[in-house]
Structure 1
Amino acid sequence: MRRGTFKDETVDYAAVGATQAPDLMQYPPERSVPAEEAWRIGSGEERFTIAGEALLSWSAQREGGLTLADVRPAAGPSYTGVGYDGEGRPIAPSRLESDQRFAADGTPFVGPGTTVHLHGHAGRYRADAEARVISVIEDPRRVGFALGTVSGSVVSGEELFLLEWRDNDEVWFTVRAFDRPVAFLYRLFPAMVRQRRRELFSRYLRAISPMYTTPA
């Protein structure tokens, strides 16, 4: 089967939330290339807390070499994003409105419905896009968010960034994604989609993990 959840007119793909589906790698959205990587980045509550704050303040993107512009929180309290449980099943939101937080430079933290313009490259691959935060997870042992493309990208799809503080005290950073090639060159050479994704994953890890440094 192919996955197709509800269609959200604010993004440019139909399978909204599919990055949280347990069978993403086996049954990706139609014409999409799925990807998933997980890394152990340390252990303990302090490591989890520090990494969570970094993740929700866009560090994976910014320290990964991308520039953020025009970060706009959702216009009103009615948009709460799509909520999911640990197995990827949609659930009702736990609150109607999130308190808005800001990074030291004044950039709004990740929040449901936030839109952002990303600019830059992942190696030799373009990473420009207008994107929207589809959902945010803030649980005692799980922190993360899903980011979907709106326009302006060479691919259409979604990324999930997830931190977990596991029962054995290890902290893991997982990134999942699916990409449907949009630009002509990427449709002509599908291998470029995978190469671009590998480069992005590597940069996200360097940004969040204390064991790596972000390349220039």
Structure 2
Amino acid sequence: MASVDQPSVTYAPVGCTRTGVVPDGFDELRRSRRIGSGRADFERAADALLTWQMHRRAEIAVMASHARVETGAVANLRLGVGRPGLRAPVRVVDVVDEPTRRGFAYGTLPGHPESGEESFVVELGETGDVTLAITAVSRPASRLARLAGQVGRRVQSRITGRYLSALADDER
């Protein structure tokens, strides 16, 4: 049971981005991009991902409970500045730490405009290509997000594109 300090995620089932099972009523977004080549690029991208730098490079402010991503870490993400900025609290629900795959997934917490899970995984392929794959499973949670409809989906897609660019080899 979650305490006041540890609110529950706002969706089920946790782990849906890893299993690929999209809950009824949720939309799925999957995108990937080649971001480099070789072990050094893989390590650099994984480190930037796991220290919240990808988000910051994509112009998302991050106030995280831990400097490095770990299961259970909480982050308050913010798009924009000041009062009109969009607040998006999340909790890390999964960490991938394999020799050629690293990343994490976070789930939305109360106050996030969406309900769902998003994963970010950097992979070093057999050919040496380094790719970033992003999967989001979500639905509107706030009144504003519901009213935004397809405009909200386009904003989500644009932010995903910024994440992909943030780790690309030409963006370092």
Bin for the TM-score computed over the shorter chain: 0.7 to 0.9
Give the counterpart of 1:19 among 17, 41, 50: 17
Give the counterpart of 2:30 among 25, 31, 36: 36
Would you say 1:59 and 2:57 are equivalent positions? no
1: CA distance between counterparts of 2:120 and 2:112? 19
Q: Unpaired runs of 5+ in structure 1?
A: 1-8, 74-107
Match of 1:135 in 2: 94
Matches within 5 A, 1:155-194: 155-194=114-153
SS in structure 1 of the partner of residue 166 of structure 2 = helix
Deviation at 1:189, TM superposition (A): 4.3
Q: Whose helix fraction is larger, Structure 1's or Structure 2's?
A: 2
2: CA distance between counterparts of 1:186 and 1:149? 14
Residues 59-68 or 186-195, more deviating = 186-195
SS in structure 1 of the partner of residue 158 of structure 2 = helix
Q: Unpaired runs of 5+ in structure 2?
A: 1-6
Superposed CA RMSD: 2.0
2: CA distance between counterparts of 1:189 and 1:55? 29
Retained in 1: the 8 A contact 2:65–2:75? Answer: yes
Deviation at 1:126, TM superposition (A): 5.9
Matches within 5 A, 1:40-189: 40-69=34-63, 71-73=64-66, 108-121=67-80, 127-189=86-148
Note the alpha carbon deviations across 1:10-29, whole angstroms, 9 max, x for none.
2111121101124x4xxx22
1: CA distance between counterparts of 2:135 and 2:119? 5
Letter in 2 for 1:190: G
- Identity within the alignment, %: 32
Deviation at 1:212, TM superposition (A): 3.7
Note the alpha carbon deviations across 1:119-153, whole angstroms, 9 max, x for none.
124xxx96421110001111110000001111222
Match of 2:4 in 1: none
TM-score, reference length from structure 1: 0.70
TM-score, reference length from structure 2: 0.87
SS in structure 2 of the partner of residue 190 of structure 1 = helix
Structure 2 CA distance for partners of 1:127 and 1:148, relative to 1, 3 Å: farther
Q: Whose strand fraction is larger, Structure 1's or Structure 2's?
A: 2
| Greater Rg by CA | 1
